[in-house]
Structure 1
């Protein structure tokens, strides 16, 4: 695939947009807003996971860096379902031509903005990154190089990327952020197919698993669960918004489309009047709809969560173990992918212990306090970073960062501070019952359960 040639002034311009210190990932800190609660369509933000410091421990040196990175914010995907560009483009037309007939005479009608509204969703741009998505990935690459500069001592760096265009472009911008024009010489791009030929080297989870795809595992159950929740959370919104339309009763898909127009307009132009149509509680219930989808479809409420994410975890574990191999000097590992893949990996790592097939999220109420929030774990440009440290006791320790915040590992002891610092000694981490099957046998389990095809790809995550 062709890598794009950008002018040097563009790099200088974008680098100047974020002048804050990058030592502790300061440039992405932001205040709370509803756009941070739109499920996996949320803007990039740091979640609150306990407030542990992400600075390097004083008694330790960083030895390995593993980045699992989602693509940046994007246009809607192609297609005609309610989340897709085709459907949303039709909604735009209906709002403008009056077939979604707004009654502007109603005092305080929140749809008044439609009179001067300029739609931004274009089916010709389906699947493509937004301009902010490009900037997000460039900036993240810049920060990664600054934070982990001691690990960048090679001539060439492997960049594994799912072969979908928006993921490849995200990886490209990220590499430009790290290396500028030199990225063409410093980056070795490995394109992982988004189909069964990827086998256990997949960066697209379900797509490389024939059994999951062909048997449509989890599909009907997920659809049923979301249908139950839809009847509960969308009905009050329809009732509230109906009076603002003339001789027309809103459908559930109409209301859903307003949520998606809110999310995608934020992605495309950094703001949307559609977001103001909803209360905070309505946004949180929309967020829960996404969490139900990700939880039941191959996530922690599915028996397949450790299977579809386990192959990556096994590969990660082997790379962590390689630190003791004097002939293997690789220190940085990069993989670019989608939200569903990262979420499955995090489930296989045991990040969501309160949600299991036996104790799933309920379909009839939003419990609010639960772990698997897609807004926090896989927003646009979301990432899972794994750090490997060697400390003064000469032992190796693992730490995870979720969107630049330390994930509080609690199943494998503590770091050298002997307190809750998000770190675990390497062998305790790898052999914890929470992730033992994945770290030690995840690839074999994936191949057997999926009847996965052999792959000729050599990847290290």
Structure 2
């Protein structure tokens, strides 16, 4: 599934000299794709890194592939808060029954569409995949099977999946894409509980880490970061939209609810009039609000990111090392999970070197040019694919793909081309200081720091 992507990073480079807190992106309205800048709720798309080719390198053969896959696009989830199904359903009711006093007499009122609007958020569908989410995963499974067809020489393939319904269904659709009506015969599903019983074999990170989860680690810092930023960037939006209501002052949550109706209507029916309420620059500031959350809560700005993501990286490393036993090693690995698991894994791999606990994202302005963009790394159906090649020099080389785009590894040398190609020789990759603590000690670190529970489930990442 290859969708064209407008590069926000390139755009930020162009406007880098602009010092205003809210840069004007209106001149890019003909190329700006709002759907690709909705944080972790964005549609699936390729990010922009360096334009490196994702084709298999010449003189190399693919030997192993690891897929870490997020579930597809979904309905809002259950629970409390402005992003949840119950809250948004109440907002829908208020818009229809007039509890939000929209002044339709104002010419060009952008809320005019409410007169004929049909709500789509249904509480009974909370947590479920959308129809497009099912299609996304089926198509991805098909493409992976085609791309790595030479590795599919086993009778049965292990499918590791977090046990939550939408993740399991995503894994099933993906598997149907790979194997069609033979799916049941070709797969062995391993279901990983999303609680403390998972131990270091988690596919839901912090929920399997008792210390982190029960003590609400990072919760205060995350909430304060988002609250600070929301008070700044939502203020002008409220001022602008207040003009279209009679004797009513919008709250921060009101504005956020309109934004999340935009987001989930796109996920459920591919378009939304609510999106027209916001300018491109406002959408990008919403995107930054999501990035603050993922960065501070278990992400690269947290002291815990390497711990939470390190167990996966350790298992990945052990599987990569297994190729040295040329007569008996597993060639394909599949793990299905959530966005909140993938970001810590990528942090433990060293993907976000510009965002650290010592140098976190700022909470008073949007710097635009930062690496940890959830829109790019964990949109709906986002994935991290690790490829292992053996080349003519008989050495093994590692490469990462993020949503089918080559991630530019820069800490462990080059591939056999001796140029920037996103590849690293296996031993240099495993021993790089950027990730060596995780590749060698990730599971032990998780168990000790988390006081994790033992598990009898063996998961192959």
TM-score (norm 1): 0.94
Q: How does 1:127-146 map to 2 (within 5 A)?
A: 127-146=127-146
The aligned residue for residue 409 of structure 2 is 409
Give the 5 Å matches for 1:107-256. 107-256=107-256
Question: Which residue is equivalent to 2:35?
Answer: 35
Secondary structure of the equivalent of 1:313?
Answer: helix
Distance 1:267 1:257, change over 3 A: same
The count of corresponding residues between Structure 1 and Structure 2 is: 436
Shift, 1:327, TM fit: 5.0
Secondary structure of 2:154's counterpart equals: coil
Matched residue, 1:381: 381
Q: Deviations over 1:73-129 (max 9, x none)?
A: 000001231010000000000000000111001111001111111000000000000
CA distance in 2, matches of 1:283, 1:256: 11
Distance in 2 between residues matched to 1:238 and 1:82, nearest whole Å: 16
Distance 1:304 1:161 in 2: 23
- For residues 78 and 228 of structure 1, what CA distance do their matches in structure 2 show? 26
CA–CA distance in structure 2, aligned partners of residues 125 and 411 of structure 1:
45
For 2:253 and 2:192, the matched residues in 1 are separated by 35
State the distance in 1 between where 2:172 and 2:164 align: 12
1-structure distance, mates of 2:144, 2:101: 49
- Tell me whether 1:308 sits opposite 2:308 in the alignment: yes
1:399 corresponds in structure 2 to: 399
Residues 1:270 and 2:270 aligned together: yes
Match of 1:71?
71
How far, CA to CA, are the matches of 1:448 and 1:30 in structure 2? Answer: 41
* Partner SS state of residue 413, structure 2: coil
Query: Which ranges in structure 1 are unaligned for 5 or more consecutive residues?
Result: 1-24
Q: d(CA) in 1 for partners of 2:326 and 2:458?
A: 20
Q: CA deviation at 1:359?
A: 0.6
Corresponding position of 1:357: 357
How far off is 1:440 after superposition?
Answer: 0.6
TM-fit CA distance, 1:330: 1.2
Distance 1:393 1:382 in 2: 33
- Runs of 4 or more, structure 1, over 4 Å off, are none
SS in 2 for 1:68: strand
Give the distance between the partners of 1:291 and 1:260, measured in 2 at CA: 15
Partner of 2:317: 317
Partner of 2:418: 418
Q: For residues 179-219 of structure 1, give each alpha carbon's deviation from its aligned partner in whole angstroms, at most 9, with x where no partner exists.
A: 00100000100000000000000000000000001111000
Query: How far apart in 1 are the matches of 2:354 and 2:249?
Result: 39
How big is the shift at 1:28?
3.4
1:328 & 1:93 partners in 2: Cα distance?
A: 60
The CA deviation at 1:348 is 0.4
Rounded Cα–Cα distance in structure 1 between residues aligned with 2:373 and 2:205: 19
What is the SS of the residue equivalent to 2:307?
A: helix
1:433 lines up with 2:408 in the alignment: no
Which runs of 5 or more structure 2 residues have no equivalent in the other structure?
7-31
CA shift, 1:30, in A, is 5.5
Please give the alpha-carbon distance, in whole angstroms, between the structure 1 residues aligned to 2:417 and 2:222.
Answer: 43
The 2-side partners of 1:228 and 1:30 are apart by 30
Q: Distance in 1 between matches of 2:212 and 2:192?
A: 19
| In structure 2, distance between residues paired with 1:328 and 1:91 | 57
SS across alignment from 1:109: coil
